[in-house]
Amino acid sequence: MKVYISATLRNFFGKNESLDVEAANIKAILDYLTDEYPEAKKILFDDSENLRGFVQIYVGEENKSDKSYWKEEIDAGEEVLLLPAIAGGAPVESIISDDRRKAITFDDKEVERFSKHLMLRDIGVKGQKRIKSARVVVVGAGALGSPVIQYLAAAGVGTIKVVDFDEVSLENIQNQILHTSRDIHRPKVASARDKVRNIDRSIQFEDVNLQLTADNIYDVIDGYDLVIDCTDNYKSRYLINDACVLAGIPLIFAAIFQFEGQVGVFNVNNGPCLRCLYPKPPEPGLVPTCSEGGSISPLGGIIGSIAANEALKLIIGIGNHLDGQILVVDSLYLHFRTLNVDKNADCPLCGFAPTITTVEDFDYEDFCGLREDEDEEPIESVEPDELARRIEANEPITFVDVREPHERAVLRFPNAIVIPIGQLARRKNELDKSVDTIFICKQGQRSALAIRTLREAGYDGSMYNLKGGLDEMKGIIFSHEGAWL
């Protein structure tokens, strides 16, 4: 029977293009070839006698490389082809270098602790060493940070830094499973530290109890391998994204809102960044954060667990990542969708002609619209304690509440007219121009927008914005309960 030898393999078979071999099956052909050309044996087979990855055997048009075909009888008229297998792929590489991995050792206790990782072929000792040498920053110790921090600690990540400026409050307990009722009024990073210590005292844990700004973010993320964004607001997300791109640190992005969550991987292998997807944040105040919009308890656990899983895969260098993709999870109807995020050549941060080159020069307050436009007529505002004084003095005031129904259900503001922003212009006649009108919302952003909307609609009564919104009123104590009610 005729055996064709591809030009790519011919050098190992006396440069013969084809050979006539007396054999009934592939096994016999291979035996003949390796007898005749002993040098070819190590080319065709590896040390375990398996066919090398770059060799394929065809009979006619059919691939018969698998050993199970080798004893099948072949018709003498068929041609057997010895062909190359040409394939490959971009490397899935760990974000932890081999040198750092090699510097790690385990004691007996660690071998026992991580045995379930060690028995996985794709993780094993090498992968676990990478996990131990990894240095990860988690920004936000809330709903998303809770599972992320705990899983990273349980998985054996050697160095974990948690950044959060906030204190635990009662409403946090519903979905921030790091914290318990005993942690109320403690810094969130403190309960994170306690939890991590209880999991594994050998973890290098660093708690950073501050709000990230353009001035301090570099110091916070410098020298770390990976940043996981578990924050709940656009200002932080863009700040973290920009700093990570400029510092060349991979970023895992996670976000939750009501019943929906998103998770993605940015800035890995020259991949896209958050600005490739959304060059600018949405209009200020219009998209409520998770703390304003609410979210179902386990959602942070679902999304945060996926984020922690992505982190471990990046550290070990296995599997497919959400690199250049956003996974969108709808927990209400159980839809999981993956959206592709292409790298944007015009991205102001990671494109070909970046306009953002340093995080310091960038005005986030301005970018996110948190600063008032100087060209616009300024909005008069009233401080919370000033408002409290006026309420106690029984001054005539019209209150307009522009919050969403679910927000009003959580925190009632008595004696207020409820007008959604969209209906303001149409319902402006409900307002009394002879008394001051004070607009309220949760944080004082949407109420400012409401005043602008009414001004544009031609309303000329005196309007004030409650500065900082109802969040700022929480600390006010009235001299008698009746004043507030």
Partner 1 sequence: MAYTDIQMDKKDLQTLKDIAVKAYPYEACGVLTGGEIENRIYDIVDANNTAALDLRKKSFEISALDIYRLENDGYKPIGFYHSHPDYPAVLSEEDKKHMIPDMIYIVASVKRTYVSQLKGYVRTSTDLNQICELSIQIVDKGGK
The Cα 348–Cα 332 span in angstroms is 35
If the CB atoms of residues 36 and 79 are measured against partner 1, the closer one turns out to be 79
Lookup result for tokens 């698998």? 66
Q: Please identify which of the residues 290, 347, 350, 368 carries the catalytic annotation.
A: 290
Sheet holding 251-257, edge to edge: 204-208, 159-163, 135-139, 226-229, 251-257, 260-266, 325-330, 335-340
Binding site for partner 1 (CB under 8 A): 4, 6-9, 11-12, 42-43, 53-54, 56, 58, 61, 63, 81, 83-93, 269-271, 320, 342-343, 345, 352
CB of residue 361 to partner 1, shortest distance in Å: 26
The Cα 203–Cα 477 span in angstroms is 43
The Cα 422–Cα 444 span in angstroms is 17
Query: Are 80 and 26 in contact, with CB atoms under 8 Å apart?
Result: yes
If the CB atoms of residues 43 and 118 are measured against partner 1, the closer one turns out to be 43
CB of residue 344 to partner 1, shortest distance in Å: 9
**62 φ, ψ (degrees, to nearest 5):** -105, 135
The Cα 26–Cα 89 span in angstroms is 29
In SS3 terms, 364-385 reads as: HHHHCCCCCCCCCCCCCEECHH
The Cα 468–Cα 485 span in angstroms is 21
CB of residue 116 to partner 1, shortest distance in Å: 24
Distances (CA, A) of 138 to 147, 155, 225, 381: 11, 15, 11, 36
CB of residue 320 to partner 1, shortest distance in Å: 8
If the CB atoms of residues 58 and 413 are measured against partner 1, the closer one turns out to be 58
Query: Are 136 and 159 in contact, with CB atoms under 8 Å apart?
Result: yes
CB of residue 16 to partner 1, shortest distance in Å: 13
The bridge status of strand 62-63 relative to strand 55-59 is: antiparallel
If the CB atoms of residues 105 and 270 are measured against partner 1, the closer one turns out to be 270
CB of residue 306 to partner 1, shortest distance in Å: 19
Lookup result for tokens 């006698």? 49
If the CB atoms of residues 347 and 438 are measured against partner 1, the closer one turns out to be 347
If the CB atoms of residues 190 and 315 are measured against partner 1, the closer one turns out to be 315
If the CB atoms of residues 267 and 331 are measured against partner 1, the closer one turns out to be 267
| CB burial of residue 90 (10 Å; 0-12, 13-18, 19+) | exposed
| 441 catalytically annotated | yes
If the CB atoms of residues 45 and 413 are measured against partner 1, the closer one turns out to be 45
CB of residue 330 to partner 1, shortest distance in Å: 22
Beta strand ranges found along 331-435 (DSSP E): 335-340, 381-382, 397-401, 416-418
Bridge partner list, 63:
58
| 244 catalytically annotated | no
Query: Are 424 and 450 in contact, with CB atoms under 8 Å apart?
Result: yes
CB of residue 356 to partner 1, shortest distance in Å: 19
CB of residue 342 to partner 1, shortest distance in Å: 7
If the CB atoms of residues 6 and 169 are measured against partner 1, the closer one turns out to be 6
Query: Are 316 and 94 in contact, with CB atoms under 8 Å apart?
Result: yes
The Cα 379–Cα 365 span in angstroms is 17
If the CB atoms of residues 55 and 184 are measured against partner 1, the closer one turns out to be 55
Check residue 468 and report its DSSP letter.
T
Bridge partner list, 51:
45
Bridge partner list, 463:
437
Residues in CB range of 335: below 8 A, 6 or more apart = 328, 329
The Cα 204–Cα 145 span in angstroms is 17
CB of residue 8 to partner 1, shortest distance in Å: 5
- Going 430 to 436 to 439 to 445, the CA torsion angle's sign is positive
* Catalytic positions: 290, 441
